[in-house]
């Protein structure tokens, strides 16, 4: 292997695709190879995430590395597996045929993972086999002859340890050698004549893999026992379900209690920034915009970043441990009762963080109707954007008492999540069993071995979520806040007016008009105003309430003051009705947009909007009336 850099003229720009079965450690390898230099976008026309990263090989070639969705076979069974197939075959629009493919396999599971490599080899394109997790295989006493395997396959084979930076040097070296050999990218004829393998062809691949392993495996490793033992407990029909519930419960408790300190800190710094500005800026329209519009608005949203990160921390950890598939296994029985399969549990669980990745994750569901139903009920899973609203109202109306070892506020929050899940199940049942009446759908899911999550993966994942959230704050939410500030401060109140200024503004007028619609469910005009910008994104409603009340004459810190204001200004019935509203309300344009992209029509997002709106109104109405009757007025 040469490590001298090439002269500038000979340096190439190449595109290399990473392909591999699910759970082969492909993403970890991708993260190690590209580090922080990653870009996430979408493939045109579909919402399958296109993850790419840049790297420089030892001799100086620039490589764009493409992380393709995991797939057991080129016979695609779901939309994201179809992307893998199409990119590899050069059929994906606006995506060049990769100069080479790196097929990543788990060295501890070669018997199952080599079939995909054989399918890829059939295409006759430049190919490298990466035996990932060689360290784990060796620890179990497994010895593989890389030379024999490479000779038998007729392609370069390298051992990689994705977790360690130096475990990928050989791979980079092989990429260099391959790039210097293949200059022009000529399409092999086999690529155009590719056909889905028949059952007989798959059996032949099985036999070929067995032959290869006989040639190349010197010593077989001991089977993994840790996973087996842990599964005795985690997949236990009763204990396993209780543990799953416990994990979910712990997750929501943590979201509340762990986030407290950083939230106080953000809150405090926003308040002191406001104070500092109000002392140092001359009274003007600009001052009002900066303090009441921008800082109050953005601050009211940024403050929820800690909670969102904690939620994602749990979801990423569970995914990396390999627990998510177990959750799907445990939930399959329940999901099939409403006509879905356990696989739908994963997108639905991600929807607790945000419905958009949830809706996107639904692409792993092969059957179109199952996928559609999952997309339609995803917004019913309480997403993190609803947390600000819940947190505010619970903070204002539920006393911070402890009930046994638990916090009453945490319990209330848990109850709201359960309400969301139960209604999602009911809606799924209505869709699948009564209305769409789809046929039975199979479940086939690998339960991967438990693995220690890598800190690096976790940090990259969290950083990506934080970036997306803050970009939303900076983009839609910020624009809406400034617009709302304008609506709330213009026109100025007439001279000698007695009410708060906002009552005379455009926003006040819209709110008062909407109030007639919302009066039966107990919403006052302030809420009605906040619901309008809240349509852009749910968390905006809190910021909007902040703006509305700040301009109504209340000073002080953003959320804390709002809590007190609400506790005095609203009845319990109103607060409960608003909570019930938010369990259902389709208050997120981005979710509707994601649903539109995924279903490729406006029909289903429109349907989603209407059915959620009707449910929200009904739920709020019933809650309000019942609460009033019980004396919550």
Partner 1 sequence: MNSYNEQKHRFDPSQPGSLGLTQPLGQMQRGSTGRILAVSGSAGDRNIERGLLEMGFVEGACIEVLHHGFLGQDPLAVRINQTMTIALRRCEANAVLVGPLHDAAVDTKPGMTLEYASS
Q: Write out the binding residues for partner 1, residues 516-545 only, by CB under 8 A.
A: none
Among 228, 401, 433, 603, binds partner 1 (CB under 8 A): 228
Tell me whether residue 328 or residue 536 sits nearer to partner 1 (CB atom): 328
Q: 3-state DSSP call for residue 78?
A: coil
By the rule CB under 8 A, 72 interacts with partner 1: yes
Cα–chain-centroid distance for residue 134?
30
Residue whose C-alpha is closest to residue 78's, from 446, 328, 368, 356: 368
Q: What are phi and psi of 376, to 5 degrees?
A: -65, -35
CB atoms closer than 10 angstroms to residue 134: 21
| Residues in binding contact with partner 1, number by CB under 8 A | 50
Q: 3-state DSSP call for residue 192?
A: helix
By the rule CB under 8 A, 433 interacts with partner 1: no
By the rule CB under 8 A, 223 interacts with partner 1: yes
By the rule CB under 8 A, 440 interacts with partner 1: yes
How is residue 290 annotated by DSSP? I
By the rule CB under 8 A, 79 interacts with partner 1: no
Among 19, 24, 33, 325, binds partner 1 (CB under 8 A): 325
Residue whose C-alpha is closest to residue 617's, from 576, 570, 573, 584: 584
Among 194-202, 417-425, 487-495, 589-597, which window interacts with partner 1 (CB under 8 A)? Answer: 194-202
Tell me whether residue 399 or residue 442 sits nearer to partner 1 (CB atom): 442
How is residue 182 annotated by DSSP? -
Tell me whether residue 280 or residue 440 sits nearer to partner 1 (CB atom): 440
The sign of the CA dihedral 87, 92, 95, 97 is: positive
Tell me whether residue 141 or residue 268 sits nearer to partner 1 (CB atom): 141
Among 6, 273, 419, 445, binds partner 1 (CB under 8 A): 445
**CA separation for the pair 322, 327 (Å, rounded):** 9
List the x/- string, 98-127, binding to partner 1 by CB under 8 A.
----------xx-xx--x------------
Among 210, 368, 401, 406, binds partner 1 (CB under 8 A): 210
By the rule CB under 8 A, 438 interacts with partner 1: no
Minimum distance between the CB of residue 47 and partner 1, rounded to whole angstroms? 24
Among 159-167, 220-228, 242-250, 617-625, which window interacts with partner 1 (CB under 8 A)? Answer: 220-228
By the rule CB under 8 A, 139 interacts with partner 1: no
Among 12, 54, 206, 451, binds partner 1 (CB under 8 A): 206
Q: 3-state DSSP call for residue 305?
A: helix
Among 89, 146, 191, 235, binds partner 1 (CB under 8 A): 235
By the rule CB under 8 A, 332 interacts with partner 1: yes
Q: Which residues pair with 75 in a beta bridge?
A: none
**Paired tokens of 418:** 């359960």
**Paired tokens of 555:** 């000073």
Tell me whether residue 131 or residue 572 sits nearer to partner 1 (CB atom): 131
How is residue 553 annotated by DSSP? T
Among 54, 75, 287, 451, binds partner 1 (CB under 8 A): 75
Minimum distance between the CB of residue 432 and partner 1, rounded to whole angstroms? 16
Q: Which helix (H) or strand (E) holds 83?
A: helix 79-88
C-beta separation of 244 from 330 below 8 A:
yes
Q: How many residues does the chain have?
A: 633
Tell me whether residue 448 or residue 632 sits nearer to partner 1 (CB atom): 448
Minimum distance between the CB of residue 215 and partner 1, rounded to whole angstroms? 11
By the rule CB under 8 A, 182 interacts with partner 1: no
By the rule CB under 8 A, 141 interacts with partner 1: yes
By the rule CB under 8 A, 370 interacts with partner 1: no
By the rule CB under 8 A, 145 interacts with partner 1: no
**Paired tokens of 138:** 């060796």
Distances in whole angstroms, Cα of residue 476 to Cα of each of 157, 468, 473, 545: 48, 12, 6, 17
Among 254-262, 334-342, 511-519, 572-580, which window interacts with partner 1 (CB under 8 A)? Answer: 334-342
Minimum distance between the CB of residue 107 and partner 1, rounded to whole angstroms? 11
Q: In what order do the strands lie in the sheet with 62-67?
A: 38-42, 49-56, 62-67, 13-19, 100-106, 127-132, 157-159
Q: Which helix (H) or strand (E) holds 286?
A: helix 285-288
Among 100, 163, 330, 355, binds partner 1 (CB under 8 A): 330
For β-strands 127-132 and 100-106, DSSP reports them as: parallel
Among 45-53, 200-208, 369-377, 421-429, which window interacts with partner 1 (CB under 8 A)? Answer: 200-208
Residue whose C-alpha is closest to residue 384's, from 459, 482, 301, 505: 301
- Helical ranges in 122-238 per DSSP H: 134-139, 146-153, 169-181, 189-192, 199-216, 226-234
By the rule CB under 8 A, 198 interacts with partner 1: yes
Longest CA pairwise span in the chain (Å): 94
* Residues in touch with partner 1 (CB under 8 A): 72-73, 75, 77, 108-109, 111-112, 115, 141, 197-199, 202-203, 206, 210-211, 213-214, 220, 222-225, 227-228, 231, 235-238, 241, 325, 328-330, 332-334, 336, 342, 440, 442-448
């Amino acid at each position: 292997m040469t490590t001298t850099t090439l002269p500038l003229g000979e340096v190439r720009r190449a595109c290399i695709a990473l392909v591999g079965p699910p759970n082969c450690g492909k993403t970890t390898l991708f993260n190690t190879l590209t580090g922080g230099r990653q870009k996430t976008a979408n493939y045109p026309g579909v919402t399958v995430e296109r993850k790419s990263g840049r790297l420089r090989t030892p001799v100086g070639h620039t490589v764009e590395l493409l992380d393709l969705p995991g797939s057991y076979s080129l016979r695609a069974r779901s939309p994201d597996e179809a992307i893998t197939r199409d990119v590899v075959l050069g059929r994906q629009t606006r995506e060049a045929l990769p100069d080479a493919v790196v097929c990543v396999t788990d060295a501890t599971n070669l018997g199952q993972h080599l079939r995909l490599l054989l399918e890829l080899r059939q295409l006759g394109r430049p190919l490298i086999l990466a035996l990932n997790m060689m360290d784990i295989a060796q620890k179990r006493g497994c010895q593989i002859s890389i030379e024999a395997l490479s000779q038998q396959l007729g392609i370069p084979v390298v051992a990689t340890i994705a977790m360690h930076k130096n475990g990928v040097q050989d791979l980079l070296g092989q990429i260099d050698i391959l790039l210097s050999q293949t200059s022009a990218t000529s399409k092999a004829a086999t690529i155009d004549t590719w056909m889905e393998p028949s059952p007989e062809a798959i059996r032949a691949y099985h036999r070929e893999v067995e032959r290869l392993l006989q040639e190349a495996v010197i010593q077989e490793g001991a089977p993994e026992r840790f996973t087996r033992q842990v599964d005795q407990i985690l997949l236990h029909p009763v204990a396993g379900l209780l543990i799953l519930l416990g994990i979910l419960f712990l997750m929501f408790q943590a979201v509340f209690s762990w986030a407290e300190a950083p939230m106080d800190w953000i809150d405090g710094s926003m308040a002191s920034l406001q104070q500092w500005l109000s002392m140092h800026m001359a009274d003007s329209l600009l001052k009002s915009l900066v303090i009441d519009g921008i800082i109050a608005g953005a601050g009211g949203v940024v403050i929820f970043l800690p909670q969102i990160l904690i939620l994602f921390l749990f979801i990423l950890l569970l995914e990396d441990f390999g627990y998510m598939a177990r959750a799907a296994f445990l939930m399959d029985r329940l999901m099939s009762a409403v006509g879905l399969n356990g696989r739908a549990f994963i997108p639905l669980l991600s929807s607790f963080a945000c419905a958009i990745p949830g809706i996107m994750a639904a692409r792993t569901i092969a059957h179109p109707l199952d996928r559609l139903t999952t997309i339609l009920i995803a917004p019913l899973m309480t997403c993190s954007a609803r947390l600000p609203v819940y947190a505010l109202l619970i903070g204002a109306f539920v006393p911070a008492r402890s009930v046994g070892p638990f916090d009453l506020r945490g319990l209330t929050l848990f109850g709201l999540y359960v309400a969301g899940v139960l209604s999602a199940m009911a809606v799924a049942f209505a869709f699948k069993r009564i209305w769409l009446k789809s046929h039975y759908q199979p479940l086939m899911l690998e339960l991967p071995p438990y693995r220690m999550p890598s800190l690096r993966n976790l940090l990259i994942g969290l950083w990506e979520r934080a970036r997306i959230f803050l970009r939303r704050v900076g983009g839609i939410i910020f624009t809406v806040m400034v617009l709302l500030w304008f609506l709330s401060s213009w026109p100025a109140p007439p001279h000698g007016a007695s009410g708060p200024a906002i009552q005379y503004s455009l926003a006040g007028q819209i709110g008062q008009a909407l109030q007639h619609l919302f009066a039966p469910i107990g919403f006052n005009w302030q809420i009605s105003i906040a619901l309008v910008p809240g349509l852009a994104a749910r968390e905006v409603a809190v910021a909007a309430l902040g703006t509305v009340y700040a301009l109504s004459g209340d000073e002080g810190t953003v959320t804390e003051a709002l809590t007190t204001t609400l506790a005095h200004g609203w009845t319990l019935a109103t607060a409960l009705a608003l909570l019930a509203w938010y369990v259902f309300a389709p208050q997120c344009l981005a979710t509707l947009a994601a649903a539109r992209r995924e279903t490729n029509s406006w029909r289903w997002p429109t349907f989603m909007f209407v059915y959620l709106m009707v449910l929200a109104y009904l739920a709020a109405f019933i809650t309000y009336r019942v609460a009033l009757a019980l004396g919550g007025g």
